[in-house]
Structure 1
Amino acid sequence: MQVQAKPGLKLIAILEAMKGLLSFTVALGLHLLAGKDLQQWAESLVLHAHLNPAHHLPGVFIEAMGRFPQGNVQWFMLGALAYTIIRWVEAYGLWKGLRWTEWLALIGCVIYVPFEVYGLIHHPGIIGAVILIVNFLIIAYIARTLQAKPEFAIES
């Protein structure tokens, strides 16, 4: 018996797949940057974008890239790849209506709430508020979906 995924779960699956794609892009970028002088690369990027390196944000970016430990690039890349795999597995399972991936999605959303609240308290802004609200909506939707399903639904 195939369990049919609700349209809301499919929408969440698309969101998770997009997060996985973004994470994969980060992993690929980190792979390409491994072994390079990150500060020099950041300066080239800022100049290529026709930004003034003396301004605050470009300067912060260049300085941060200069302080980034070169030996950690591969670890960050592997972490981004692991995150990508988790997001894509979750997206596939949500799309197919697999109950265990609904639990994975619920736990994954709940884990971020304290960090989002902390970020909103210390750096209030519309983007942080929207992210927190969307996260709460996803949590409520998945929790309600899990409650509505029979405990021992047959999945395939």
Structure 2
Amino acid sequence: MSSVKSGLKAIALLEATKGLISVLVVFGLHKLAGQDIQRVVEELLSHSHLNPANHLVQEAITQAGKITEANIMFVIAGALLYAGIRFIEAYGLWHSLVWTEWFALLSGGIYLPFEAYEMFTKPSLLTAGILVINLVVVGYMYRVIKHKGS
């Protein structure tokens, strides 16, 4: 049973990492709140040495100009909610709480069709990596739950 606990702890660390990344996004967005987002994006793009005449660069600048402080606050609230859910899930998996095992199975399973679609429409190593990791997590959680039920 210790291998099951080790697997659950590994998934708990993955979920906690997702939560931490969300918190870092919140801090970044909070820092941007009240600033001229379009100007910030223009500066970032100029430092990245991208061609300013490129259509995608121009589109990024245009879309950045449409971002309001209310939009940022909405995204911050969503990121905080997501982080909270990931931290609760990580805690539950770390302590082998059955309900979080089911939650991990279902929440991971929900993303699979979208990740598979993304893999077929815009394949990349990142997309493939995310899909594989999620398949491993969902498969592992299924085995844990099935084993406990038998």
Deviation, structure 1 residue 56 = 5.6
Deviation, structure 1 residue 52 = 4.6
Q: Residue in 2 aligned with 1:142? A: 141
- Separation of aligned partners in 2, 1:15 and 1:24: 14
Q: Residue in 1 aligned with 2:63? A: 64
Deviation, structure 1 residue 61 = 3.3
Amino acid in the other structure paired with 2:71: N
Q: Residue in 1 aligned with 2:89? A: 90
- Separation of aligned partners in 2, 1:86 and 1:134: 19
Deviation, structure 1 residue 137 = 1.2
Unaligned runs of 5+ in 1: 152-156
User: What is the CA deviation profile of residues 81-133 of structure 1, one whole-angstrom value per residue up to 9, with x for unaligned ones?
Assistant: 00000001111111111111111111110111121122112112232122212
Deviation, structure 1 residue 66 = 1.8
TM-score (norm 1): 0.83
Q: Residue in 2 aligned with 1:75? A: 74
Indicate how the Cα distance of structure 1 residues 130 and 148 shifts in structure 2: closer, same or farther if over 3 A, else same: same
- Separation of aligned partners in 2, 1:105 and 1:20: 14
Q: Larger relative contact order (C-alpha < 8 A, sep ≥ 6)?
A: 1
Q: Residue in 1 aligned with 2:105? A: 106
RMSD: 2.2
**4+ long deviations beyond 6 Å:** none
TM-score (norm 2): 0.86
Indicate how the Cα distance of structure 1 residues 9 and 57 shifts in structure 2: closer, same or farther if over 3 A, else same: farther
Amino acid in the other structure paired with 2:34: G
Amino acid in the other structure paired with 1:79: G
Q: Residue in 1 aligned with 2:16? A: 17
| Corresponding pairs, count | 149
Which range moved further: 17-26 or 67-76? 67-76
Indicate how the Cα distance of structure 1 residues 119 and 69 shifts in structure 2: closer, same or farther if over 3 A, else same: farther
